[in-house]
Amino acid sequence: MAGVAVSDLLIRDYDDADEDIVLELLAGSLGWLPDAGHREFFRWKHLQNPAGRSAMWVAESAGQIVGFRSMLRWVFDVDGAEVHAVRAVDTATAPAARGQGVFRALTLHAVAALTAEGVGFVFNTPNDQSRPGYLKMGWIELGRPPAAARPSGPLGALRAARSRTPAELWSLPSDAGVAATEGLSGALPTGPQSLSGLATRRRAEHLQWRYGLPSLSYRALRRDDGIAIFRLRRRGHATEAAVCEVLADDDDGARRLVQEVARVSGADHLLRLGRAHTSWRELPLPGGGPILTWRALASTTPVELSRWRLSLGDVELL
């Protein structure tokens, strides 16, 4: 394929018939494999979300798809009001079209379309390579939410310290607790009620979808006063228990759940988003969690970082 001129691009909505070509693009850009597992992952992520199908577009040049952009639907409670947002997730560009503005054209098209639709805002946690491009398109950097780690002991702490690498996407097998969908099947604790700040609207259908893909092997530990959702994954040479949700009636219930995950998971360390509690044997993660970025769509006022009440499940790489 010859060079691509942005002025010649045709940007259109994604169609299900585009799936094979888009999966090939994602394989080339994100390291996905053209297999049944990644096809199932794509469909779960973008087509089965109870908040709605992802907003997705493709860019064509000379009749060939050369770019893909997706925005995952997300629903927040913001100071007690429901706000529909999107999370900027998968994007891919054909090798011959890279560096020629395809990513920017697709993303700005998405911004305009979603603003017209009335979507409140877009958020994501881009890596160091892609963040500058987002900032040039109007995203702002909110900072790093606090994160906490709980080593299993001296050896676990040593392995965690030597594993400063990104965690793997796929989970390790585990029989700790029960499958997340089973754990989430009953009534859920409401927890302390607060109408201030911003938090994901954690309805049952959202949680069942978010933690329901079998190949990601999310697990649940359930007590009378709460439930914890977690999964095991490899981070370098360490086994990490990513604690994605802790839904409890109070802080004591949350502490007991975290301690129980540490006991039964066999992980070298636990990772959780939120402020560290020394009484839970947690340590503040140096630097905090991933850098959170935000861009206005129909809502124009950003929520300052201190008022975001995020879980690891809201921001972990998918």
Which CATH number fits the domain that encloses residue 101?
3.40.630.30
Q: What pLDDT score was predicted for residue 165?
A: 86
Structural domain includes residue 305? yes
Q: What pLDDT score was predicted for residue 25?
A: 96
Residues 11 and 124 in one domain: yes
Residues 259 and 272 in one domain: yes
The whole-angstrom separation of Cα 139 and Cα 293 is 6
pTM of the model: 0.93
Name the domain count of the chain: 2
Write down the residue that tokens 């002991």 correspond to: 153
Residues 92 and 216 in one domain: no
Q: What pLDDT score was predicted for residue 34?
A: 82
Q: What are phi and psi of 89, to 5 degrees?
A: -125, -115
Residues 47 and 11 in one domain: yes
The whole-angstrom separation of Cα 169 and Cα 268 is 18
DSSP 297-309: SS--SPPPGGGB-
Q: If you count DSSP H runs as helices and E runs as strands, how many of each does the chain have, helices first?
A: 9, 15
Structural domain includes residue 103? yes
Residues 67 and 151 in one domain: no
Q: What pLDDT score was predicted for residue 254?
A: 94
Residues 208 and 136 in one domain: no
DSSP 70-133: EEEEEEEEETTEEEEEEEEEEEEE-GGGTTTTHHHHHHHHHHHHHHHHT--EEEE---TTTHHH
Structural domain includes residue 120? yes
Write down the residue that tokens 């070298």 correspond to: 268
Write down the residue that tokens 């999964």 correspond to: 231
Q: What are phi and psi of 54, to 5 degrees?
A: -60, 150
Structural element, H or E, at residue 208: helix 204-210
Residues 306 and 263 in one domain: no
Q: What pLDDT score was predicted for residue 191?
A: 61
Render pLDDT for 185-244 as a digit per residue (tens, 0 to 9).
988 886 655 568 999 999 999 999 999 999 999 999 999 889 999 999 999 999 999 999
Positions in the chain whose pLDDT score sits under 50: none
Structural domain includes residue 76? yes
Render pLDDT for 283-295 as a digit per residue (tens, 0 to 9).
999 888 999 999 9
C-alpha pair distances (Å), 134 with each of 73, 111, 130, 143, 196: 19, 11, 7, 14, 28
Residues 152 and 124 in one domain: no
Between strands 81-93 and 121-124, the pairing is parallel
Structural domain includes residue 1? no
Domain enclosing residue 265, as ranges: 147-284
Burial per residue of 246-266, b for 16 or more beta-carbon CB atoms within 10 angstroms, e otherwise: bbbeeeebbbbbbebbbebbe
Q: What pLDDT score was predicted for residue 39?
A: 96
Residues 218 and 229 in one domain: yes
Q: Is 123 exposed, middle or buried (0-12, 13-18, 19+ CB in 10 A)?
A: buried
